[in-house]
Every structure is written in structure tokens, then in C-alpha cells.
Amino acid sequence: MRLVGVRRAALLLIVLLSSVAYGHPPPPPEPEPEPARPALEWSTWFRIGFGARPADPGSIARTSTPPVASRGQEATYDAALGIDVTASASRSGDGRVGAWAEVRGLSLVGGGEIVIQGLPKKIDLFWYEGTGVLALRAGGNHEKVTGQIAYGYLAPWDLFGSKPQGTTRYMIGVRFVATYTRAIDNPRDWQATIGLETEPVGAIRYLLGIRSWY
């Protein structure tokens, strides 16, 4: 009887060991699919910059000789309120093309832009996880041509309570901007500035700590 019991115990042990040997660990859980990136991204900004322009000639008394051309430079500034819309031009969505426009004083200028996001991939500022962004803009109007280079921080923000899976999403951020503008009919009439542009609604929200806007 004892021999039969020992045999049964040995057989049970073999079965258990065999099941462990031939068993496989459970497969890892499948990664959750990332939400679809909206087709269009848009933002607004307020910019102020300081720089230089050619010095205006002073008042010249009546004379038979032609007036002396303007020489030297003087300090200047510019301020603008703008908007842009971009669409993906790459598989990742980080390379984008679009259009922009801004009001400078009493004039409206606009044109096209190339935007490269993910430089670097992750920047955490102003309580929002964002990315580095480089923007190249060119355009003008019937009086002048202009170009801009901007680099800084960019992040999506649910401005109007829309779902992130929608066809558009609103972007916030802050960027350093170099701007050059020249009159079409006079190459000597130019202005170059370096400044800062920021999304106005998000800046007010952050500075004033308006919790209902988060």
C-alpha cells in the first residue's frame, strides 16, 4: 500500500513538473493605440520686438543742392497680433506647412510658413507638456516683403473644450522671433527686429492663474 502511494505521488509530481516545463508566460498586453492626430493645428500670438532701421534724414533748409541721403541707423520696435494654420507634411506630423497673417500697426501682412516640431521632442513648461518648434515664415503685402525665423515651445491646449480627437486643435506656446521687413519700392527702407511672441489667451491664463481656463 505504501509503495502504491509513493508511485501515485511520484506520478503526480511528474505531471506537475511537465505542466510547468511546457507552460508559457502570458503574452504582454497590447499597447493602447495613440489618439489620431488632428489634421489641422492653429494658433494665435501677440509679438513685440526691438531692433533697428535706417535713420530718417533731418529737416533740411531750402537749398539748390540735393538733400543728403539718410545715414546711420536708429532704434525701433514692432508689435503685431497674428494667427496661423498648418497641416501635416510628413508621416509623423512634425513637419508641417501652412499659412499665417498678422496685423502690424495699421497694415496687414501674411504669407506661407514651414514648421518643424519635435526639436526637442519633449519640453514641459507652463503646466503643459509640449515640444520644441522651429518656424520659417515668408510673405508681405502690396507695400513690403517680410521674413521671420521663430524658435521656442509649443503645446496643444483645449481652448474651447473641444475633443482632442477632432479635426483641429489649438496650440499655445512662446517663441523668440527674428523679423526682417523691406519696402518693395525702396530697398533702403527696411526694419530688423528680435522679439518674443506668445499665445495671448494662454499667457493671460498663466500670469493671472485663472483656474477655470485649465
Tell me the per-residue pLDDT of 83-129, one tens digit each, with 9 for 90 and over.
999 999 988 889 999 999 999 988 999 999 999 999 988 887 766 78
Beta strand pairing call for 123-125 and 128-140: antiparallel
Is position 103 within any domain?
yes
State the burial class of residue 15 (Cβ atoms within 10 Å of its Cβ: 0-12, 13-18, 19+): exposed
Is position 1 within any domain?
no
Mean pLDDT of 154-161: 77
Is position 9 within any domain?
no
Helix (H), strand (E) counts: the chain: 2, 9
Q: What is the number of domains present in the chain?
A: 1
Residue 206 has pLDDT above 90, yes or no: no
Tell me the per-residue pLDDT of 33-47, one tens digit each, with 9 for 90 and over.
566 788 899 999 999
Q: Which of 21-30, 73-82, 120-129 has the lowest mean pLDDT?
A: 21-30
Is position 144 within any domain?
yes
Per-residue confidence band for 209, with pLDDT thresholds at 50, 70 and 90: low
DSSP-based three-state secondary structure for 112: strand
Top pLDDT among 93 and 203 is at 93
pLDDT of residue 2: 56
Per-residue confidence band for 19, with pLDDT thresholds at 50, 70 and 90: low
Sign of the Cα pseudo-torsion (160, 163, 164, 168, in order): negative
Q: Contact at 8 Å (CB) between 89 and 107? A: no
Domain that includes residue 124, residue range: 40-56+69-213
The neighbour count for residue 175, using CB atoms within 10 Å, is 22
Q: For residue 137, list its beta bridge partners.
A: 113, 148
The neighbour count for residue 163, using CB atoms within 10 Å, is 9
Instruction: Quote the pTM value.
Output: 0.74
Is position 111 within any domain?
yes
Mean pLDDT score of the chain, rounded to an integer? 81
Is position 168 within any domain?
yes
Q: Contact at 8 Å (CB) between 47 and 102? A: yes
pLDDT of residue 89: 92
Is position 185 within any domain?
yes
DSSP classification of residue 26: P
Sign of the Cα pseudo-torsion (63, 67, 72, 73, in order): positive
Is position 90 within any domain?
yes
